[in-house]
Amino acid sequence: MEHKIIAIYCLIDEMLKGLHVKNDIRAKITNAEILTMAYLAVSDFNGNYRKAHLYLNPTKLFSPIDYSRFIRRINELHTAVETVFGYLSRLFVSIHPSQIYAIDSFPVELCQLQRESQCQLMRHMDLKGYNASKKRYFYGFKVHMIATTHKEPVSCYISFGKVSDVKGYFDTEVQNTTRFLRIT
Nearest to 35 by CA among 82, 3, 1: 82
Please tell me the predicted confidence (pLDDT) of residue 118: 67
pLDDT digits (tens, 9 = 90+) for 79-112: 888 888 888 788 888 887 767 777 788 888 877 7
Is the confidence at residue 4, as pLDDT, over 50?
yes
Classified as helix, coil or strand, 88 is helix
* Interatomic CA distance for residues 79 and 100, integer angstroms: 29
Q: Give the model's pLDDT for residue 122.
A: 65
Query: Per residue in 18-27, pLDDT tens?
Result: 888 888 888 8
Q: Which of 4-8, 143-147, 160-164, 172-176 has the lowest mean pLDDT?
A: 172-176
pLDDT (0 to 100) of residue 50: 92
Residue 122 or 74, more confident: 74
Dump pLDDT digits (tens) for 137-151: 888 888 888 888 777
What pLDDT, on the 0 to 100 scale, is given for residue 180?
Answer: 35
